[in-house]
Structures are given as structure tokens and as C-alpha cells.
């Protein structure tokens, strides 16, 4: 962390808003919030998508016996073959197909 490149932290230290003893215990997103803003937004977006995914209770997981799963279909073989159904358990992450 170069103090001359960080335009947010240097004025806080010079003005005395941030004490030197506080500086060593600050988290990285507190030291340079402009750099970490996009990283934290992406993390929050991924967490939001993971928690708000549409689930199904049609299939039972073979590993943990729970019925909360994410189901999607892909055409993995020739066009005259049926689509392959992929099921991912939302509890343990076990993935199976049929």
C-alpha cells in the first residue's frame, strides 16, 4: 500500500482523523474504499444471486437426502437425443444428471 497513491487515506492520516494505531487494525476495504468498492459489489451480487436462485423440490439428493435443488437442462448430445437434466443440491452441492 503506497501512501502517495492512496488519495483517500493520506489526508485522513495528515489531518489526524485516523490515528496511526488505528491504521494497523483497519481492514483493506477501509484503507482504500475506491479500489475495494467494485470487489465488494461483485461479492454481494454473487451472494444475492446464490441466495435468490429458483429451487425445486422435485428431486431428492442421493447424498444428503434433501429435496432443495437447482434444475437445468442442456442439449449435450445430438439433436435427435433428449436433453440432459442436471440437478445440483443446494444443501451439499452434489451434482448429478440423467
Question: In this structure, what CATH number is given to the domain that contains residue 96?
Answer: 2.20.25.10
Per-residue pLDDT of the chain (98 residues; tens, 9 = 90+): 565 677 777 788 888 888 888 888 988 888 888 888 999 999 999 888 877 778 888 888 889 998 889 898 999 889 898 999 999 998 898 999 88
Tell me, what's the pLDDT at 85?
Answer: 92
Whether residue 3 is contained in a domain is answered as no
72 and 41: one domain?
no
Per the structure, the complete domain to which residue 76 belongs is given by: 54-98
88 and 70: one domain?
yes
Residue 59 Cα distances to 53, 89, 90, angstroms = 16, 9, 11
33 and 59: one domain?
no
Task: Domain count for the chain, please give it.
Answer: 2
Tell me, what's the pLDDT at 1?
Answer: 55
Bridge partners, 86 (sequence order): 72, 97
68 and 80: one domain?
yes
Amino acid at each position: 500500500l503506497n501512501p502517495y497513491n492512496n488519495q483517500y487515506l493520506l489526508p485522513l492520516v495528515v489531518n489526524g482523523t485516523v490515528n496511526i494505531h488505528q491504521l494497523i487494525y483497519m481492514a483493506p476495504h477501509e484503507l482504500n474504499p475506491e479500489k475495494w468498492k467494485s470487489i465488494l459489489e461483485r461479492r454481494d451480487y454473487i451472494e444475492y444471486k446464490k441466495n435468490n436462485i429458483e429451487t425445486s423440490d422435485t428431486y431428492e439428493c442421493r447424498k444428503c437426502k434433501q429435496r432443495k435443488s437447482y434444475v437445468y437442462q442442456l442439449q449435450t448430445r445430438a439433436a435427435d437425443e433428449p436433453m440432459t437434466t442436471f440437478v445440483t443440491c443446494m444443501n451439499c452441492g452434489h451434482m448429478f444428471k440423467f
